[in-house]
Chain A
Amino acid sequence: MADQKITIALAGNPNSGKTTLFNGLTGSNQFVGNWPGVTVEKKEGRLKGHKDVLIEDLPGIYSLSPYTTEEVVSRNFLVDENPDAILNIVDGTNLERNLYLTTQLLELGIPVVVAVNMVDLIQKNGDVIDTKKLSRELGVDVIEISALKGTSIMEAAEAALKAAETKKAAKPVKFAKDVEASLKEIEGLLVNVPDHLKRWFSVKLFERDDKLPENVASLAPKAEEIITKIETAHDDDSESIITNERYEWIASALKGTYGKKGSGELSVSDKIDKIVTNRWLALPIFAAVMWLVYYISVTTIGTFVTDWTNDGLFGDGYYLFGNGREEFTEDMNAYYAENVWTDEVKDNVAKAADAGITGADEILASIEDQDYEAFDEAYGFYGAELDDKEGGVYSISETVDTARGEDAEMPANEDYGTWVPGIPVLVEGLLDAINCNDFLKSLILDGIIAGVGAVLGFVPQMFVLFAFLAFLEACGYMARIAFVMDRIFRKFGLSGKSFIPVLIGTGCGVPGVMASRTIENERDRRMTIMTTTFIPCGAKLPIIALITSALFKGASWVAPSAYFLGMAAIIISGIILKKTKMFAGDPAPFVMELPAYHWPTVGNILRSMWERGWSFIKKAGSIILISSIVIWAGSTFGWTDGAFGWNPDLELEESVLGAIGNGVKWIFAPLGFDNIKATIATVMGLVAKEEVVGVFGVLDFEGLTALAGYSFLAFNLLCAPCFAAIGAIKREMNNAKWTWFAIAWQCGLAYVFAFIIYQLGSLFTGSGNIFGGILAIALVACIVWLLVRPYDEAKKLTAVKA
C-alpha cells in the first residue's frame, strides 16, 4: 500500500449502514485484519476507480470516549494517523443520536463529509430532512445516500476526496458561552500540541480524559482549577457538561431541519418486536431460533460437509454426488455376510456378549443389522478385548483379518459409480510415482496434509454458522438475544450473546470461539473465548463414550455429568475471573441499542461469512499446521531397538513423544493416572480430541480405577482444546499474552478439578491419602472463597439513596 496517497476514514454509529457503504465503496478490494493487540476487527479497502485512495473502516462507535476498546482504537487512529478526510455516515432515521458522534469528529481538525443514510426510508415514512440547512449548521458537506441501494454513495466518496484535497478542516460546534470560555482558557495551556488538535485536546482535558498523551496529560493539574469552577456553576461533572452541550447543540440545529410526520402507528419493526421480546413468547422463540441454527449448522449441513471433508476429501475418497455409494455398501454388506460374519464369528461374539465382555454387544448389534461400517467401527474399538479374554476363546480376529486382508477379494471403491479418491490418496500416488523417499512422504502425508485437513474439516461448518450469525446480527435479532439473556449471563461475567458461542461449542469449539465475535464488549468477548471450549464438543464425545463403557458399564449418568462439569467450569471461571484485576478493569455497561429489524442483503451476509471464515483459515491455519508437524515428528522419531532414528512404524511408547510422556507423567500422579499411555493420549488430544481414544484404547483402562478414569475424563474435557481451537482462540484474542493466559487457565482449572475429584473421591472410598485429601479440601475452600469474595465493579455508578 505504499502508492496510496489519500486516506479517508469511514466513521459512524453501529447499525448506521457503515458496513454496507464500505462494501459499496470498495467492492472486493478489502483487507481484513485486527487492530494491533486487541480483539477488534480492522478493515481497509481501496476506493473503486481510485487506486490511490484508501478507505479505513473504523469500528462502529457512538462516541469517542476513552471507555471502550473500539472507541479508543478509532480516536487513536484519527489523532495519530491524521487521515486526509473523515466520511461520517449517519442514520437519517435516527439523526439526533447519530450526530452526537459527528460533533466529536468535527473537533479533530480533519476535513469531514457527512453522508445521511437511509434517505429512501425517510421518504417512505414521509419525513423530510433539509440537508442544505443541516450542511450550514454543521459547516461541512452533507450528502443524502442510500447505502443499501447504492444511491449517491460515489458522490459521497467524491465529496470526501474533494474535502481531502482542499484540506479545509471542519469547524467544531460551539457550546454555551461559559463552557466555551473555559475551553478557551484550557486551550491557552496547550502550547506544545499541533494547532489542528488544540480544540480536541482542550475538550479532552476538560472531560478529564485518562487516555491522553504524556505532554497533554501533564497539563491536567493546571486545568483542574478551571474545570472545578464551571462544574460548581453547572452542578454537574465536566464530562456530563460536554455531553449535554453536544445534545443541546444537536437539538437546536435540528429544529427546522428535520420534519417528522410522527404518526402514532406502530412500525413493522415495532410489531415484530412486540412478538419477539414478548414476556411469554421471547424464550420459546429464542429456543426455537437457537435450535434451528444449531440443527442446520452443526447437526445436518455441518456434520455432513465436515464428514465429507474429513473422510472423503482428506480421507480415502468419496462418491461424487453419492453416485455408486449405495451399490458399494450393498456389495460390502453382502461380502461381510459371506466372509466375515461366519457362524463361528457370530457364535463367539454372542458368547462374549453373554459373558458381559465390553463392547461385544455392540459388535453383535452391527452383525444383526448387517451393517459393515458399524461392524468395522465396533471391531476396531473392541476386537482386541475379545482376543484378550479367557485365552482368546471369543476371538474373531483371525477370520475378520483374513477376510479384510490384502489378499482378500473385497469389493473396491473405484469399481463403483464415480469414485473420487481423497487428496491423501492422490498425493500418495503422486509421491510414489516420483519415487519420493519415505521420510518426505510421511512428512507430507501425515504431517502436512493431515494438518491442513484438520483445518479445512472445520471450515464448511464454520461458513454455514457464520452465515447464520451474519443474518442474526444484520436483521437485529442478535441484540434482542442479548436483551433477553442478559439477566442470566451477566452473573458469570458474560454477555447475553455468550449463549451462542457456548451452544455452538457443543458441536465444535472452533466456530464456537469464532462466534464470540458478535459480542460487543471486549471484556465479555475475552471471557467467552476463554470459557467456550469447556463445554464438551463433538470430538470429546468418543472419550466420554469410551470411559462410560470401559469403566462405568455404560452408566447413564456419566455423559450428562460431563456437560454439567463443562457448565460448572464456565460458571466458576466466569465468576472468579470477573473479580480479577484483568477483567474488573473495564466496566461493562449494558447500555445497548436495539436496532430496528430489517431484512439484510444476501451480499452482506455472504461477505461477512467469507471474511470470518477466511480469516480463520489464514490466522489459525499456520498454528495448526506447525503443531501438526511437530506432533508428527514427535511420534515418528524415536528409539528402535535402542538406536535413535526416524521410523514411521514406531510404537508410541518408543517415540520422542513417548519419552516426553514418560518424563512428565508424574505430573498426573496426583490425578490418579500417572501412566505413560494416558499422558501421551492427553498430548495427542491436542491434535484432535478424538485422538485420545485412538491412543488410549479400551484395554488400557483395565489398570485404572473408575475414579482415576473419571479424573482422566475431567482433565481431558477441560484442559486446552485441540490445536484448531487454540488457533481460533489465538485468532480472536489477537494477543499472545491473552492466548497463553487462556490456555494456562484452561489447563490449570482442568488440573484442579481432576485433582479434587480424584483426591476427594479416594477419601470417600477409603483409599485416599490424607495429605492429598487435605489439599483437595483446601482447594475447594479456596474456590468457594474466590466465588463469594466481595469485589467492586470498577467505576460503577454510585447508587442513589431513594
Chain B
Amino acid sequence: MKTSTNFLLKTGTTTLLALTFFTLSAFSVKSQIYIGDKSTISFFSATKMENIDAVNSVSRPVLNTKTGAFAIQASQNAFIFKSAFMQEHYNENYVESEKFPFATFKGKINETIDYTVNGKTNVTITGDLDMHGVKKPRTITGVVEVKDGSILMSSKFDVKVSDHDIKVPSLYIEKIAEVIQVSFNAELFPMKK
C-alpha cells in the first residue's frame, strides 16, 4: 500500500514537474518572438528633376526579444509606386526582381532592452543588408518602443544605389538620386502559434 502511494506520488510529481516545465519553457520562448503584422517600408528618391517614392506594406519583420536578433524580408514586387510605369522599371531595370526577388536585412540590436516595461529606446542594429544580390554590413539607428505588450520599431536610413551594384544609366542620373532614403515603421506583436 505504502509503496504504491509512493509510486503514484512520485509519478504524479514527475509528470507535473515535466508538464510545468514544458509549458513554461514553450510559453516563455514563444513570447520572446515578436512578429510585425503592420509594417511599412518606404523609400524616397529626391532630385531636382523628379521625386520617386514607393511603399511596401506587406513585409513581416521578426524580432527575438531575448537575443535581440531581428530580420525582415521585403518582396521587391510588393513596392507600390504612384506610377505603374516606374514600378515596372524598378523591377525590370534596376533591382531585377526576377533574379533577386527580395531585399533582406538580418541583424542584432546592440542595446539591451527591458521589454516588460513601457518606454522608448534609441537603438543601433548591426547586420547585413542584402539587396540586388549584394550583401552590405550595416549599422542602422532606430527607435524601439515598448507599448502595452506590443513593440513599435522605426528607423530611417540611407541606401547608396551603387553600394548594391544597381546601375543608373547616365541618361537618368538627374532623375534618380544616388542615395535613397528608406524609412521603416512596424508594430510587432507576440507570435501566436
Q: Are these two chains actual partners, yes or no?
A: no
Q: Which residues of B contact A (CB under 8 A)?
A: none
